[in-house]
Chains A and B, each alone.
Chain A
Amino acid sequence: MPTVCPTCDAQVVLPAGTELSEIISCPECQTQLAVKAVGDEPQVEPAPAIEEDWGE
């Protein structure tokens, strides 16, 4: 079942093997989305912005 991009309302289908908290791109507007739920009722939300302490 697809979910909806919170930015452009496009339908977003999670690729097979998608994990919780993975970052994907909306196929329509390319917004980075964080996966909040997988399975029968997938959910996405805008991905968090990069912060100063992010990295390796």
Chain B
Amino acid sequence: MTRLGLLHSTIRGEEKLLLQAARERSVEIELIDIRDQLLNPDIFQLNFAVALERSVSTTKGNYAVQFLESQSVPVVNSSRVAAICADKFLTSLALAKNGVPTPQFAMVFSLEQAVAATEQLGGYPVIVKPALGSWGRLLSKVNDIDALETLIEHKEVLGGPAQKAFYLQQYVPKPGRDIRAFVIGGQTIGAIYRSSSHWITNTARGGTASNCPLSKELENICRQSSQAVGGGVLAIDVFETDDGLSVNEVNHTMEFKNSEAPTKVSISGAIIEYCLEVAQGSTQR
């Protein structure tokens, strides 16, 4: 029987669904709270064939994945995928390099360059995001140069080093919703609309989930996006635009507890089965 190490910190609804899916498939799970670990290769006991990284902390999760990979344990997702997806600028670069439609973007380090980049991105409003961040936090829709000056000054004075790297993205008007697609090994297994009257549609910020029927266009852009970031288990956020679909972000430790009901897809089950395939070496991570 394949033993799966589940790297976690707090146990969310997603981890409980994963545990249930594993039990239903008679997969033995070793729960590994990364906050309690001593990641020393001389003493760490490896009792599993594959690991699934589900840490809510990106920093700690990335270190744990790097550690396990150094011990020749395959991890879902790999450190390569995590490094790209954890950073919005690196994600945008990977998407653009591979010809995946994505909003225009720029990274700048000063107000002067932010003003210049905004003009190149089509003017105001422009979106300013932390390159490292999630759940829709600290996203700014900047409507004019006064607001841009204020935002950049606050970040320069109050922010840490990471907050002083300014990721700018073209503002894309949305029809009151965006699409979140669940993609495993390049295959789109389900998708939801995230609807909100606010321009931020994250469910963590109040967006509501409903089923999004799969289309060839969605499946194709998700497959391309998956290939661009290195595959694995991904949640891909997609805008609907007048010019077709456009990929906004790619998430590598996705949350899905509110998406199994509307999609009627066992996302947790698909993740467990993918981990087993990785353990058996029968799939491209």
Interface residues of A (CB under 8 A from B): 17, 19-23, 34-35, 47-48, 51-56
Select which of A17, A22, A35, A54 is within 8 A of B57 by beta carbon. Answer: A54
Interface residues of B (CB under 8 A from A): 8-12, 15-16, 19, 31, 33, 56-59, 130, 132-135, 137, 162, 235, 251-255
In the complex the two chains form, what is the Cα distance from A55 to B61 in whole Å? 11
Instruction: Tell me how far the C-beta of A42 lies from the nearest C-beta in chain B, rounded to whole angstroms.
Output: 14
Q: List B contacts of A34 (CB < 8 A).
A: 10
Instruction: Tell me how far the C-beta of A43 lies from the nearest C-beta in chain B, rounded to whole angstroms.
Output: 15
A55 closest partner in B (C-beta): B134
CB atoms of A20 and B134 under 8 A apart: no
CB atoms of A22 and B58 under 8 A apart: no
Also in contact, A23 and B16, with CB within 8 A (given A53-B58, A55-B134, A56-B135): no
Would you call the interface of chain A mostly helix, strand, loop, or mixed? loop
In the complex the two chains form, what is the Cα distance from A48 to B133 in whole Å? 18
Q: List B contacts of A55 (CB < 8 A).
A: 56, 58, 133-135, 137, 253
Q: List A contacts of B252 (CB < 8 A).
A: 56
CB atoms of A23 and B254 under 8 A apart: no
Instruction: Tell me how far the C-beta of B204 lies from the nearest C-beta in chain A, rounded to whole angstroms.
Output: 8
CB atoms of B31 and A20 under 8 A apart: yes
Instruction: Tell me how far the C-beta of A19 lies from the nearest C-beta in chain B, rounded to whole angstroms.
Output: 5
Instruction: Tell me how far the C-beta of A33 lies from the nearest C-beta in chain B, rounded to whole angstroms.
Output: 11
CB atoms of B133 and A19 under 8 A apart: no
Q: List A contacts of B254 (CB < 8 A).
A: 56
Given contacts A20-B31, A52-B133, A53-B58, 8 further A-B contacts (CB under 8 A): A17-B16, A22-B11, A22-B12, A53-B57, A53-B132, A54-B58, A55-B56, A55-B133
Instruction: Tell me how far the C-beta of B6 lies from the nearest C-beta in chain A, rounded to whole angstroms.
Output: 11
In the complex the two chains form, what is the Cα distance from A19 to B31 in whole Å? 10
Could you jot down 13 A-B contacts, CB within 8 Å? A19-B19, A19-B31, A20-B11, A21-B33, A22-B16, A47-B10, A48-B10, A52-B132, A54-B56, A54-B58, A55-B58, A56-B135, A56-B255
B135 closest partner in A (C-beta): A55
CB atoms of A19 and B134 under 8 A apart: no
A22 closest partner in B (C-beta): B11
Q: List B contacts of A53 (CB < 8 A).
A: 57-59, 132-133
Instruction: Tell me how far the C-beta of B128 lies from the nearest C-beta in chain A, rounded to whole angstroms.
Output: 16
